């Protein structure tokens, strides 16, 4: 039975995506850092934008986001056959992945696609995440979307999917494609973020707010996780290339709030003149803010990544300076559209990159409705 799907689903399905090429050339971690647009939060002219419930700034961001996606992938098939999609996310202990699960399910309902979202136990439990994928590989999924904890932990499961004829999309944190190829496996498509560019963007914004320079630090995530490695290397390269900026520490905190809290307290004890901290996700950034508050330390710029609801509140309150963002709602829709297209015989040659948006104390109040 065919499911009919309108070209843009009125205003709801704003992703229009397609591509052609060989899946054998899909790249993974480290992802090539192509020229991914950092979308500016510039308000749209009054009266423009299909959704009057969104601010002009968000309307403009969505327009630019959708245009970037359409340019990379094309349009959604108007009709497609029955499809069952699985998704393996990292952990529901992180608000970002809770949101992604919710957006996957909402997009599936909207698009008429059966989707099942599974996860491991914690952000560091690579074995349990692999167990989930190994089980799913033997089930009746047509396509499985995977977001690995690190570059190699899901490789046996991906190979099993390949052997069983289940197509695999890598979303977000990258699979080590060289290691995957050595294991006899491949990805069918990748949709991701230029993680290095996230770090570079944050570092440049932080520097712009420190005209006299000063000491800064990076709280990284889990060692070996593609998003942490990319964000850290991007920020580090900018900080180290700036004469009056002193990068005093790069410390892995494993995405853990307690570790980030303790690391922040130790940093301001050792470096009382610390001016800025870039945390590779919002969970750690919020913990850093909590530690600074507990110690009565003011004037330290704190940035995160993911623009979670709690980060939005902290930025609005001025306790966090900023957070890197992209539309998670459209991210999941794009991935499901790619799943449909793969199932209909399309192939994807290149990685698909999401446009990026830096949310700061300067523009956060203009981003009502951004998700």
Strand 79-81 relative to strand 2-4, pairing: antiparallel
Q: Is the model's pLDDT at 29 over the cut of 70?
A: no
Confidence of residue 49 (pLDDT cuts 50, 70, 90): very low
Confidence of residue 19 (pLDDT cuts 50, 70, 90): very low
Q: For each of the domains in the chain, give its residue range(s) and CATH number, in order of start.
A: 2-31+78-192+329-350 (3.40.50.2300), 195-325 (3.40.50.2300)
**Residue closest to 326 by CA, chosen among 99, 117, 165:** 99
In whole angstroms, what is the distance from residue 111 CA to residue 83 CA? Answer: 11
In whole angstroms, what is the distance from residue 273 CA to residue 116 CA? Answer: 49
pLDDT at 53: 76
**Residue closest to 68 by CA, chosen among 22, 108, 14, 125:** 14
pLDDT at 51: 54
Tokens of 293: 């508050």
In whole angstroms, what is the distance from residue 252 CA to residue 10 CA? Answer: 44
**For range 253-264, the mean pLDDT:** 97
Q: For residue range 312-351, what is the model confidence (pLDDT) as tens digits? A: 999 999 999 999 998 999 999 999 999 999 999 999 989 9
Hey, which of 24-28, 48-52, 253-257 has the most confident mean pLDDT?
Answer: 253-257
In whole angstroms, what is the distance from residue 95 CA to residue 101 CA? Answer: 10
Q: Which of 51-55, 83-87, 151-155, 236-240 has the weakest average pLDDT?
A: 51-55
Residue 163 or 26, more confident: 163
pLDDT at 174: 93
Q: Is the model's pLDDT at 284 over the cut of 60?
A: yes
Residue 284 or 10, more confident: 284
3-class secondary structure, 75: coil
**For range 227-253, the mean pLDDT:** 97
- Do 304 and 279 form a contact (C-beta atoms < 8 A)? yes
pLDDT at 25: 34
Q: For residue range 97-127, what is the model confidence (pLDDT) as tens digits? A: 999 999 999 999 999 999 999 998 988 899 9
- Alpha helical stretches, state H, the chain: 56-73, 95-111, 126-137, 155-163, 177-182, 195-208, 226-240, 257-270, 282-294, 309-317, 328-343
Confidence of residue 4 (pLDDT cuts 50, 70, 90): very low
3-class secondary structure, 327: coil
**For range 162-170, the mean pLDDT:** 98
- Residue located via tokens 């993911």: 306
In whole angstroms, what is the distance from residue 214 CA to residue 354 CA? Answer: 32
Residue 72 or 180, more confident: 180
**For range 9-21, the mean pLDDT:** 34
pLDDT at 52: 57
**For range 71-93, the mean pLDDT:** 92
**Residue closest to 369 by CA, chosen among 45, 10, 57:** 57
pLDDT at 22: 32
Q: Which of 9-23, 32-46, 86-100 has the weakest average pLDDT?
A: 9-23
pLDDT at 15: 34
pLDDT above 90: percentage of residues in the chain: 74
Tokens of 229: 């490695």
Residue 70 or 352, more confident: 352
User: Cis link prior to 30 (omega < 30° from 0)?
Assistant: yes
pLDDT at 185: 98
Give the angle subtended at the CA of 309 by the CAs of 307 and 311, to the nearest 5°: 55
Tokens of 185: 């496996």
Q: What is the mean pLDDT of the chain?
A: 87
Confidence of residue 369 (pLDDT cuts 50, 70, 90): confident
pLDDT at 34: 41
**For range 360-371, the mean pLDDT:** 92
In whole angstroms, what is the distance from residue 260 CA to residue 283 CA? Answer: 9
**For range 137-162, the mean pLDDT:** 97
Q: For residue range 272-283, what is the model confidence (pLDDT) as tens digits? A: 999 999 999 999
What is residue 44's DSSP assignment? P
pLDDT at 71: 87
Q: Is the model's pLDDT at 36 over the cut of 60?
A: no
């Amino acid at each position: 039975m065919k499911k009919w799907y309108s070209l843009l689903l009125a205003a709801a399905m704003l992703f229009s995506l397609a591509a052609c090429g060989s899946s054998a050339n899909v790249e993974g971690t480290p992802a090539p850092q192509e020229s991914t647009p950092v979308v500016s939060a510039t308000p749209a002219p009054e009266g423009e934008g299909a959704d009057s419930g969104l601010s002009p700034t968000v309307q403009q961001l969505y327009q630019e986001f959708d245009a970037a996606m359409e340019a990379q992938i094309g349009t959604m098939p108007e009709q497609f056959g029955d499809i069952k999609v699985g998704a393996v996310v990292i952990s529901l202990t992180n608000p970002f992945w809770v949101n992604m699960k919710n957006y996957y399910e909402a997009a599936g309902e909207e698009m008429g696609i059966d989707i099942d979202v599974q996860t491991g136990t914690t952000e560091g439990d690579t074995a349990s995440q692999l167990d989930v994928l190994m089980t799913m590989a033997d089930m009746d999924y047509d396509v499985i979307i995977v977001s690995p904890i690190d570059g190699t932990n899901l490789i046996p499961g991906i190979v099993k999917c390949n052997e069983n004829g289940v197509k695999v999309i890598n979303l977000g944190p990258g699979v080590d494609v060289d290691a995957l190829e050595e294991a006899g496996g491949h990805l069918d498509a990748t949709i991701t973020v230029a993680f290095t560019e996230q770090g570079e963007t944050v570092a440049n914004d932080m520097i712009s707010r420190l005209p006299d320079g000063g000491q800064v630090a990076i709280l990284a995530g889990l060692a070996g996780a593609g998003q942490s490695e990319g964000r850290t290397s991007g920020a580090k390269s900018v900080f180290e290339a700036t004469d009056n900026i002193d990068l005093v520490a790069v410390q892995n905190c494993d995405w853990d709030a307690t570790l980030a809290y303790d690391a922040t307290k130790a940093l301001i004890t050792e470096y009382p003149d610390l001016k800025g901290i870039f945390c590779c996700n919002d969970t750690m950034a919020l913990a850093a803010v909590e530690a600074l508050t507990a110690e009565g330390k003011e004037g330290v710029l704190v940035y995160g990544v993911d623009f979670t609801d709690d980060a939005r509140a902290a930025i609005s309150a001025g306790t966090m300076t900023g957070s890197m963002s992209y539309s998670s709602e459209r991210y999941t829709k794009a991935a499901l559209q790619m799943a449909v297209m793969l199932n209909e015989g399309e192939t994807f040659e290149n990685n698909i990159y999401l446009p990026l948006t830096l949310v700061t104390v300067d523009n956060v109040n203009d981003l009502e409705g951004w998700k």
